[in-house]
Amino acid sequence: MNVMQTLQSFESRNFRLFFSGQMISMIGSFMAETTTAWLVYSLANIVWQSYIKVA
């Protein structure tokens, strides 16, 4: 399987929109999890509770 076959799906506009939306959603989810763990740590000041939230 060469690179052109791998990237062939990006020729479709619908797939590019779907892929872009998924990437934005994943970034948002990562930011939400990170800030929630930070909030737990800053409010409780206990490190292991923020690790439990991340896990």
Task: Give just the sign of the alpha carbon dihedral 42, 46, 50, 53.
Answer: negative
Query: Would you state the pLDDT for residue 44?
Result: 78
Query: Would you state the pLDDT for residue 39?
Result: 84
Query: Would you state the pLDDT for residue 31?
Result: 95
Q: How confident is the model over 1-51, as pLDDT tens digits?
A: 688 888 899 999 999 999 999 999 999 999 998 898 888 778 877 766 666
Task: Kindly report whether the global pTM for this prediction surpasses the value 0.85.
Answer: no
What is the total residue count of the chain? 55
Query: Would you state the pLDDT for residue 33?
Result: 87
40 and 49 Cβ atoms separated by less than 8 Å: yes
* Cβ atoms within 10 Å of 34's Cβ, excluding its own: 13
49 and 41 Cβ atoms separated by less than 8 Å: yes
Q: Break the chain into its structural domains and give their ranges.
A: 13-54
